[in-house]
Amino acid sequence: MSLPHVILTVLSRHEATGYDITKAFSQNIGHFWKASHQQVYRELNKMSQLEWVTSELIEQEGKPDKKIYTITELGRKALTAWFEQPTPYTPTRDEFSAKLMACSVQSSDLLIEQINELIPQAEHMIQQFQLLEKQFYAYPEKLNIAARIERLILRRNILERKMWVEWAVEVKEQLTLQDTLI
């Protein structure tokens, strides 16, 4: 997946400023894709050069001028071409699992400490995601298609984190048991 295609998806829904797009990344898109303010603006500039988006400068009184970006027909074609490509299952590249593997030759004490710190953080994230779900997606059957899809993405994050907490508790138990057997 690439950042320009996520931005094109946002612009397919409605025109937006770079600030609006960045805000979307900190809210609903941030559950599955991270991008900084600088990355968004850098991509918007590249996409303008590729003629995937156009922008209109709006002058404002007492505030800096703003650019409103709109997807072009060429941008829609680029988004469609990307969407039509098969999506491979993303292989897991997980540093935590690599460190767990190293526990066969290293003391597991540090990893147990990390687990003790990470479980409450993950549980807090789950609670935050569940609050978002309750606040914005409480009645899935009444949601429009965009909101239903956002809810599904949020649900995936909730379920993945719940599963990670369950797994981390099991890892902690096994590592603790391993340390008592040595």
- 80-97: pLDDT as tens digits: 999 999 988 877 778 888
- On whether both 13 and 73 belong to a single domain, the answer is yes
CATH code of residue 11: 1.10.10.10
Would 89 be classed as within a structural domain? Answer: no
Would 90 be classed as within a structural domain? Answer: no
Task: Find the domain containing 128 and state its range.
Answer: 95-179
The torsion angles phi and psi of 149, rounded to 5 degrees, stand at -70, -40
pLDDT for the residue numbered 178:
67
The last residue of a domain, from among 84, 114, 147: 84
pLDDT for the residue numbered 26:
75
- On whether both 128 and 168 belong to a single domain, the answer is yes
The last residue of a domain, from among 47, 62, 84: 84
Would 144 be classed as within a structural domain? Answer: yes
pLDDT in 10s for each residue of the chain, 182 residues = 588 998 998 899 899 999 899 888 777 776 677 788 899 999 999 999 999 999 999 988 888 889 999 999 999 999 999 999 998 887 777 888 888 889 888 889 999 999 999 999 999 999 999 998 998 899 999 999 988 998 999 999 999 999 999 999 999 999 988 655 55
Domains: count for the chain: 2
Tell me the C-alpha distance between 40 and 121, whole Å: 27
Q: What is the three-state SS of the chain?
A: CCHHHHHHHHHHHCCEEHHHHHHHHHCCHHHCCCCCHHHHHHHHHHHHHCCCEEEEEECCCCCCCEEEEEECHHHHHHHHHHHHCCCCCCCCCCHHHHHHHHCCCCCCHHHHHHHHHHHHHHHHHHHHHHHHHHHHCCCHHHCCHHHHHHHHHHHHHHHHHHHHHHHHHHHHHHHHHHHHHC
